[in-house]
Amino acid sequence: MKLSAALLCALVAVQAAVLLAAAPSAQAGELQVGYYGKKCKGLENVVKWHVIRALKANRRTGAALIRLLFHDCFVRGCDGSVLLDASYDNPHPEKEAPVNIGLAAFDLLEEIKAAVEDRCPGVVSCSDLLIYAARDASSILSNGHVHFDVPAGRLDGFVSKAEEAQAELPDSADDVQKLIANFARKNFTVEELVILSGAHSIGQGHCSSFAGRLSEPADQITPAYRELLKYKCPQGSNPPVDNNVRDEDYDVVARYMPGFTSRVRKIPDFLDNSYYHNNLAKIVTFHSDWTLLTHKEAFGHVKEYAENGTLWDEDFADSLVKLSKLPMPAGSKGEIRKKCSVINHRLY
């Protein structure tokens, strides 16, 4: 018996509706520390083993994991939507948004997911694995000073749209008032904006993300640092550049900022309060970092965390926990993906 195209489309639509109706919903209130204690014993040790191995091979991967946590949770809540590849259902996913340039560590998360599926098939979400991995990266990069227990029980979302990421994520060229308004929409305070910005003590940004800084005046960026950035960003190219000048090549720093060479770090990507010292000295990469100095409350917190690294360690951990609790949009459905880059079933 031959079915008409219209009937086939109707049957597919019905199947998609049934799948979505059967899919559970996840509420932030359901998250629990130790959620997988009986469901998948030893899960956190599995994640940590893979993260430690990855960071031994390439320490930059740790910064990539922490960035992924923020870029996932700030859009549609912590649902693993940033991990999805382009597909029929999501032709232009979040990872394609310009604001998401340079996102990495996707392969590591797939590696962790495969190991966890072998151990506990169909139990642990990719969104939870990302939080665990970013937590472990934070701890390793801070020499254990940043650590927190992970409330878990998230589901993986079905939707990933580049235009949503572009609209919701803060831009590196934003002024302070726009940043404050953006974070307030997610129920974050001015202080928490300053705290989370401290993650720019690690990682890299592309030249296109701070192009405006190359022509900003001396009261916004130290001229010697501006010249260093110009050297790192030759016209017509868009390479990644260290967020923290302390992680720059020693010879480059000696050429442009000879008085700063004693602070160049032998080990890059150390998660600490150096971002706040750099900001006060106007040697930060992004306009969105410098602009914090133009707001009275934000400026006060920049000074506070420059003076008290231990306080920042504790507050950064607390802010990551709060970030990890951002819920999926009301009424959203979720699943436990088999692979982090694809949903289990086509929806349409």
- Predicted pLDDT of residue 136: 98
DSSP label of 13: H
Return the beta strands (E) in 50-199 as ranges: 151-152
138 is in an annotated binding site: no
Domain that holds residue 311: 176-322
pLDDT at 7 > cutoff 50:
no
In a domain, 268, yes or no: yes
The residue assigned the tokens 């100095």 is: 293
Tell me: pLDDT of 290 over 90.
yes
Confirm whether 7 is domain-assigned: no
Residue 342 lies in a domain: no
Q: What is the pLDDT of residues 229-266, one digit of tens each?
A: 999 999 889 999 999 999 999 999 999 999 999 999 99
Q: How many domains does the chain have?
A: 2
Residues 6+ apart with CB under 8 A from 32: 151, 152, 153
Tell me whether residue 133 is in a domain. Answer: yes
**What pTM did the predictor assign?**
0.92
Give residue 282's region: left, alpha or beta (phi > 0; psi -120 to 50).
Answer: left
Interatomic CA distance for residues 272 and 246, integer angstroms: 12
Residues 213, 316: Cα–Cα separation, whole Å? 26
- The per-residue pLDDT for range 81-117, each reduced to its tens digit, is 999 999 999 999 999 999 999 999 999 999 999 999 9
Q: How confident is the model at residue 19 (pLDDT cuts 50, 70, 90)?
A: very low
The confidence band for 14, taking pLDDT boundaries of 50, 70 and 90, is very low
* Residue 347 maps to a domain: no
Q: Are residues 208 and 132 in the same domain?
A: no
Q: Are 142 and 270 in contact (CB under 8 A)?
A: yes
Whether residues 199 and 330 share a domain: the answer is: no
User: Per the residue annotation, which of 50, 71, 287, 301 is the catalytic one?
Assistant: 71
Give the chain's mean pLDDT.
93
- Long-range contact pairs involving 15-18 (C-beta distance under 8 Å, separation at least 24): 16/345, 16/346, 16/347, 16/348
Question: Does residue 63 register a pLDDT over 80?
Answer: yes
Alpha-carbon Rg of the chain, whole angstroms?
21
Task: Residue 234: count other Cβ atoms within 10 Å of its Cβ.
Answer: 10
Query: Considering the domain boundaries, does residue 346 fall inside one?
Result: no
Q: Per the annotation, does 77 bind a ligand?
A: yes
pLDDT band at 30 (very low <50, low <70, confident <90, very high): confident
Q: 253 in a domain, yes or no?
A: yes
- Residues 202 and 242 occupy one common structural domain: yes
The answer on 182 and 75 residing in a single domain is: no
> What's the CA gap between 64 and 105, in Å, rounded?
6
- Same domain assignment for residues 183 and 315: yes
Q: Where does the pLDDT of residue 347 fall: very low under 50, low under 70, confident under 90, or very high at 90 and above?
A: low
Same domain, 159 and 183: no
- Interior CA angle at 304 toward 303 and 309, to 5°? 110
The answer on 122 and 61 residing in a single domain is yes
Whether 92 sits among the annotated catalytic residues: the reply is no
Does 318 lie in the same domain as 180? yes
What dihedral do alpha carbons 134, 137, 141, 146 form, nearest 10°?
60
In the block, which residue shows the tokens 């797939």?
Answer: 110
Output the six-digit token pair for 263: 């602070």
Average confidence (pLDDT) over 20-31:
57
Picking from 151, 184, 194, the residue whose alpha carbon sits closest to that of residue 311 is 194
**Is residue 313 part of an annotated ligand binding site?**
no
- Whether residue 141 contacts residue 275, with contact meaning beta carbons closer than 8 Å, is answered with no
300 is in an annotated binding site: no
Residues 154 and 197 in one domain: no
Query: Residue 26 domain-assigned?
Result: no
Bridge partners, residue 152, by sequence? 32
CATH number at residue 270: 1.10.420.10
Pair (37, 165) in one structural domain:
yes
The verdict on whether residue 94 carries a ligand-binding annotation is: yes
> Does 307 lie in the same domain as 216?
yes
Q: Are residues 150 and 255 in the same domain?
A: no
Give the domain CATH number at 131: 1.10.520.10
